């Protein structure tokens, strides 16, 4: 019907070009205008989500430095799991507060001087030490784009920002081995398909000696702690900076990490 309309308009050369163009029908989900659920949202069809999931999985495996691909994989595959996580958060009082207040962890919201002044062994101080030692910053997390629900977009953003906290809690560095261990922990905790895929396929890129340590000690330790600990998304970390790290680990039931992880690449 649209083509008939266009064909009827074409002989009228006197029509201004702009009017002719207005008749064109957008053939895909609008990426601007009232259909946007949150800033940065890109509406996608199921076909696009499937292609994105496949493409980002392949690219993330081919080039592990493409963190944005891991993020995209998480967004496109995690819809159902995110709903489950959101419901879990609502049931827990601290989690419900997080959903209500929507705190964000970024350099602009963190008071670095205050964290520096905290005593050694406190969560805030150890988190800062982790950022410095591994030369990472909380601002490198890409914003959510492909989740088609505003609250779930926040949940996955929170999960990403809490990821660094998990590194601190588990005492894992940000090298490939450390990341895989954290992924195993997250896979057991959250059940996000991206974590599961990362946990299963990440070891492909490791060297043989690391693989041995991974399978013999680190993975069983991660799984055990993941099962014991309550949902880590329910912790209001911003209110717990002064809490001692060992006390927090005890509260969550996380046993200390195997000591020789630091020496491995």
Partner 1 sequence: MAAPRSCGLWRYCCRGWSCSTGDCRLPRLHRSWARATPSARLLSQEKRAAETHFGFETVSEEEKGGKVYQVFESVAKKYDVMNDMMSLGIHRAWKDLLIKKMHPLPGTQLLDVAGGTGDIAFRFLTYVQAQHQRKRRRQLRAQQNLSWEEIAKKYQNEEDPLGGSLVMVCDINREMLKVGKQKALDQGHTAGLAWVLGDAEELPFDDDQFDVYTIAFGIRNVTHIDRALQEAHRVLKPGGRFLCLEFSQVNDPLISRLYDLYSFQVIPVIGEVIAGDWKSYQYLVESIRKFPNQEEFKEMIEDAGFQKVTYESLTTGIVAIHSGFKL
Taking the complex as a whole, how short is the minimal distance between the CB of residue 10 and partner 1, in angstroms?
8
143 binds partner 1 (CB under 8 A): no
59 binds partner 1 (CB under 8 A): yes
Taking the complex as a whole, how short is the minimal distance between the CB of residue 151 and partner 1, in angstroms?
23
Nearer to partner 1, 51 or 133 (CB): 51
66 binds partner 1 (CB under 8 A): yes
Taking the complex as a whole, how short is the minimal distance between the CB of residue 3 and partner 1, in angstroms?
7
156 binds partner 1 (CB under 8 A): no
Q: Retrieve residue 230's tokens.
A: 């309550």
Nearer to partner 1, 39 or 263 (CB): 39
- Only segment of 56-64, 92-100, 132-140, 244-252 that touches partner 1 (CB under 8 A): 56-64
Exposed/middle/buried for 43, CB within 10 Å: 0-12, 13-18, 19+?
middle
Phi, psi of 151 (to 5 degrees): -70, -40
Q: Per residue, what are the HEC states of the chain?
A: CHHHHHHHHCCCCCCCHHHHHHCCCCCCCCCCCCCCCCCCCCCCCHHHHHHHHHHHHHHHHHCCCCHHHHHHHHHHHCHHHHHHHHHHHHHCHHHHHHHHHCCCCCCCCCCHHHHHHCCCCEHHHHHHHHHHHHCCCHHHCCCCCCCCCHHHHHHHHHHHHHHHHHHHHHCCCCCHHHHHHHHHHHHHHHCCHHHHHHHHHHHHHCCHHHHHHHHHHHHHHHHHHHHHCCCHHHCCHHHCCCCEHHHHHHHHCCCCCCHHHHHCC
> Is residue 148 a known part of a binding site?
no
Using CB under 8 A as the binding criterion, the count of chain residues that bind partner 1 stands at 28
> Is residue 167 a known part of a binding site?
yes
Nearer to partner 1, 5 or 265 (CB): 5
69 binds partner 1 (CB under 8 A): yes
- Residues within window 23-42 making contact with partner 1, judged by CB under 8 A: 24, 26-28, 30-32, 42
- Only segment of 46-54, 171-179, 222-230, 231-239 that touches partner 1 (CB under 8 A): 46-54
Q: At what angle do helices 123-134 and 150-170 cross, to 10 degrees?
A: 90
45 binds partner 1 (CB under 8 A): yes
1 binds partner 1 (CB under 8 A): no
> Is residue 41 a known part of a binding site?
no
Note the residues at the interface with partner 1 (CB under 8 A): 3, 10, 13, 17-18, 21, 24, 26-28, 30-32, 42, 45, 47-48, 51-52, 55-56, 58-59, 66, 68-69, 72, 145
Which residues participate in the annotated binding site? 163-164, 167, 179
């Amino acid at each position: 019907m649209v083509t008939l309309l266009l064909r009827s308009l074409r002989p009228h050369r006197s029509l201004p070009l702009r009017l002719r163009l207005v008749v064109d029908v957008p053939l895909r989900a609008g990426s601007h205008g009232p259909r946007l659920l949150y800033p940065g949202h890109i509406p996608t069809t199921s076909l696009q989500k499937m292609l994105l999931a496949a493409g980002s999985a392949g690219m993330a495996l081919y080039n592990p430095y493409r963190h944005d691909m891991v993020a995209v994989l998480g967004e496109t595959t995690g819809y159902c799991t995110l709903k489950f996580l959101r419901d879990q958060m609502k049931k827990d009082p601290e989690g419900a507060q997080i959903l209500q207040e929507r705190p964000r962890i970024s350099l602009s919201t963190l008071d670095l001087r205050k964290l520096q002044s905290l005593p050694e062994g406190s969560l805030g101080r150890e988190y800062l030490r982790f950022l410095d030692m591994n030369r990472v910053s909380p601002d490198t997390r890409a914003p959510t784009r492909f989740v088609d629900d505003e609250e779930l977009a926040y949940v996955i953003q929170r999960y990403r920002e809490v990821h660094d906290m998990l590194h601190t809690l588990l005492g894992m560095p940000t090298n490939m081995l450390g990341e895989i261990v954290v992924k195993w922990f997250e896979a057991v905790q959250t059940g996000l398909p991206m974590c599961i895929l990362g946990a299963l396929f990440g070891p492909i890129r490791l060297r043989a000696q690391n693989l041995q340590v991974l399978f013999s000690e680190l993975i069983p330790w991660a799984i055990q702690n993941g099962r014991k600990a309550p949902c880590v998304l329910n912790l209001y970390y911003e209110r717990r900076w002064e809490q001692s790290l060992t006390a927090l680990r005890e509260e969550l039931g996380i046993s200390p990490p195997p000591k020789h992880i630091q020496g491995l690449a």
